[in-house]
Amino acid sequence: MEKEVKKISIAVIKRLPKYHRYLGELIQKDVEKISSRKLSEMMGLTASQIRQDLNNFGGFGQQGYGYNVKDLYREISKILGLHNKYNFVIIGAGNLGQAIANYHGFSEKGFHLKGIFDINPKIIGMKIHEVQVMDIDKLEEFIYTENIDIAVICVPKENAQEVADRLNKTNIKGIWNFAPVDLKVRKDTVLEQVHLSDSLLTLSYKINEKLLQERQEKIRQRRDIPGHPLKSIKT
Helix or strand run (H / E) with residue 45? none
Q: Which is nearer to ligand NAI, 118 or 149 (CB)?
A: 118
Asked if residues 166 and 139 have their Cβ atoms less than 8 Å apart, the reply is yes
Among 23, 26, 175, 179, binds ligand NAI (CB under 6 A): 179
Site string for ligand NAI, 72-111 (x = CB under 6 A): -------------------xxxxxxx--------------
* Residue 115 makes contact with ligand NAI by CB under 6 A: no
Q: Which is nearer to ligand NAI, 68 or 193 (CB)?
A: 193
The CA-atom distances, in angstroms, between 148 and each of 117, 129, 140, 163, 172 are 13, 18, 10, 15, 7
Q: Report in angstroms how near the CB of residue 182 gets to ligand NAI at its nearest.
A: 13
* Residue 162 makes contact with ligand NAI by CB under 6 A: yes
Q: Which is nearer to ligand NAI, 136 or 185 (CB)?
A: 136
**Site stretch for ligand NAI (CB under 6 A), options 28-36, 63-71, 149-157, 211-219:** 149-157
Alpha helix segments (H runs only) across the chain = 10-28, 36-43, 47-55, 69-79, 95-102, 105-108, 139-145, 157-168, 196-223
10-28 vs 36-43: helix crossing angle, rounded to 10: 100
Site string for ligand NAI, 49-68 (x = CB under 6 A): --------------------
Q: Report in angstroms how near the CB of residue 74 gets to ligand NAI at its nearest.
A: 34
**Site stretch for ligand NAI (CB under 6 A), options 40-48, 63-71, 100-108, 156-164:** 156-164
Instruction: Give the DSSP per-residue string, 142-175.
Output: HHHHTT--EEEE-S-HHHHHHHHHHHHTTT--EE
Q: Which one-letter amino acid corresponds to residue 228?
A: H
Rounded to whole angstroms, the Cα distance separating 50 from 218 reads 37
Helix or strand run (H / E) with residue 61? strand 61-62
Q: Report in angstroms how near the CB of residue 214 gets to ligand NAI at its nearest.
A: 30
Size of the site for ligand NAI (CB under 6 A): 24
Q: Which residues bind ligand NAI (CB under 6 A)?
A: 91-97, 117-120, 123, 136, 154-157, 159, 162-163, 178-180, 196
